Structure 1
Amino acid sequence: MRQVLQGVTAVVVLLPAGLCAAEYTFTGTAMVDGTPTYTESHTLRGECGERFRPRQHEVVYRSTTEDTVIGTKSLAYEESPLRPSFDFRQPPFDERMQLTNRGDTDARIDWQTPAGETETFEVGINDDVVIDAGFVHFIQANWQSLNSGRNVDFRFMGPTRGEHYAFVAEPTDSDAIDAHLTVRIRPSGMILRWLVDPITLGFDQQGRLTDYLGLTNIRQSDDNNYVAHIRYGTSRPPCPLI
């Protein structure tokens, strides 16, 4: 569980307006049934003011057994840190998912499925909605409430369903995660709670993601995704996250 890639870099460039253009990278290892199965290499670019503001996020997923790229994701936070547009590809399954945040009022989803079909959705969104990796910035934005033991409600986008659903983030304890703050994300509705298992996240005192435990977005087969414990290296952002 402790086999984590630790490579971290940070770059800061001064901007005329007094802000800084910033970049940092971090990596993680996905453990499936105790075995390292794939790695994630993350590069975030954004701006430093009082806090880090993400603008772009690139992820490369690589199999540890075959040393091949099994996925790539590009995210753009032009409209909101909580609701990025993204382009997610999984070449082994000929799958591509594109979500475009249009003015932070609606999202268009274009999905090329592993079965070779194409599905398109248009979904209305608002400030309550969180999309994809925006959940990390959602936790950071609600840091004080969660550290005080309070739950936070939100709606999470299910892009393969073309809909967003009521969820809750709640502080919790976990035997598998040793972190300053451990948060469980689960559906609020009774029916969906029977169908969707919760995801558990760990964060350190600086608001950095240390652990992800649960169903991932990486396919194990046409019908199933990996369930993994992903442990992330202790990256050093160029400015505060919380």
Structure 2
Amino acid sequence: MRSVSLLLLVGLLAVDANGMNAVGSAYSVEDGELRYREIHRCSSEGDRCTVEYENPEGELFARKVVDYQDSLQAPSLEMRDLRHGETLTVAGGNEAGVVIDAGFDHYVRLRWEQLVSGETVRFAFLVVGRQQPLDMVASKAAAESCAQGRMCFRVALDNWLLSRLVAPIWLEYDAQSRRLLQFRGVSNIRDAQGRSQQVRIDYRYPESSPEGSTS
């Protein structure tokens, strides 16, 4: 069951790729300590993004490259863990309707009106390390559980039994700009001992010009 929960979260750490730069600070849910930072840089067209992962000391330990040229909701990607010399890849645009990794953030905006109106959205989600997609379900959170000016969503496995054993993902978006502001759940980044970790990731969007290239 632990492996299912880890694979479930790999692709949901994504931000707006419309030529925007962003920084995500991941804090431990248990003790509130900073665990790592994500630095997102996208091309001016938003069709290619690089995410660099740094430890609290500012040292780079992982890098992910996401290519949206063939599909916004099903990009291709390469994830490198520099600590262990491990590289994982996923080919994009493999099947109509499947959501891949960071493409989930685009998928939320594509389905925004449905979600905001209270509809439950079901989709197939392919993550690094799996050959077959997972059946997922996303829904709008109760208004009283979401801060003013934000739109909150709950994402879980679309399986009655597994959804009770694996904690859902909590996402908070700015209600106007539709940018991801906060993620809560199991991180796709393991700690230095190789253990999974529950994190809260706060995203901010520095007002700076996007880089023309992320290679």
- Asked whether the equivalents of residues 40 and 50 of structure 2 are also in contact (C-alpha less than 8 Å), the reply is yes
- Asked whether the equivalents of residues 39 and 63 of structure 1 are also in contact (C-alpha less than 8 Å), the reply is yes
Distance apart, 1:29 and its partner CA: 0.4
Question: Structure 1 residue aligned with 2:188, among 202, 217, 224?
Answer: 217
2:72 corresponds to 1:55: no
- Identity between Structure 1 and Structure 2 (%): 28
Hey, what does 2:150 align to over in structure 1?
Answer: 180
Q: Deviations over 1:198-237 (max 9, x none)?
A: 1111100211000010011111256533210000014569
2:67 corresponds to 1:76: yes
Hey, what does 2:136 align to over in structure 1?
Answer: 167
- Asked whether the equivalents of residues 89 and 128 of structure 2 are also in contact (C-alpha less than 8 Å), the reply is no
Question: Structure 2 residue aligned with 1:131, among 97, 100, 119?
Answer: 100
Give the match's secondary structure for 1:140: helix
Write the distance in 2 (CA, Å) between the matches of 1:216 and 1:137.
19
Under a length normalisation based on structure 1, what TM-score does the superposition of the two structures give? 0.71
Relative distance call for 1:148 and 1:177 in structure 2 (3 A) is closer
Structure with the higher helix share, 1 or 2: 2
Hey, what does 2:113 align to over in structure 1?
Answer: 144
Q: Deviations over 1:97-155 (max 9, x none)?
A: 11122xx3x3xxxxxxxxxxxxxxxxxx321x111111110111111111112111111
Larger radius of gyration: 1
Write the distance in 1 (CA, Å) between the matches of 2:179 and 2:129.
28
What runs of 5+ residues in structure 1 fail to find an aligned partner?
Answer: 1-21, 48-53, 107-124
Distance apart, 1:23 and its partner CA: 3.1
Distance apart, 1:67 and its partner CA: 2.5
Q: Deviations over 1:73-99 (max 9, x none)?
A: 000012210011001011112221111
Give the match's secondary structure for 1:182: strand
Give the match's secondary structure for 2:83: helix
2:10 corresponds to 1:26: no
Under a length normalisation based on structure 2, what TM-score does the superposition of the two structures give? 0.79
**Which structure has more RCO (C-alpha within 8 Å, separation ≥ 6)?**
2
Write the distance in 2 (CA, Å) between the matches of 1:177 and 1:202.
8
Give the match's secondary structure for 1:193: helix
- Asked whether the equivalents of residues 75 and 101 of structure 2 are also in contact (C-alpha less than 8 Å), the reply is yes
How does 1:100-115 map onto structure 2 within 5 Å? 100-101=91-92, 104=93, 106=94
Tell me the amino acid that sits aligned with residue 52 of structure 2: V
Distance apart, 1:192 and its partner CA: 2.8
Relative distance call for 1:173 and 1:35 in structure 2 (3 A) is farther
Relative distance call for 1:213 and 1:141 in structure 2 (3 A) is same
Give the match's secondary structure for 2:167: coil
What runs of 5+ residues in structure 2 fail to find an aligned partner?
Answer: 1-17, 210-215
Distance apart, 1:45 and its partner CA: 2.1
Q: Deviations over 1:15-40 (max 9, x none)?
A: xxxxxxx7331111001131111111
**Aligned residue-pair number:** 188
Structure with the higher strand share, 1 or 2: 1
2:177 corresponds to 1:206: yes
Q: C-alpha root-mean-square deviation of aligned residues, in Å?
A: 2.3
- Which stretch has the larger CA shift, 227-236 or 31-40? 227-236
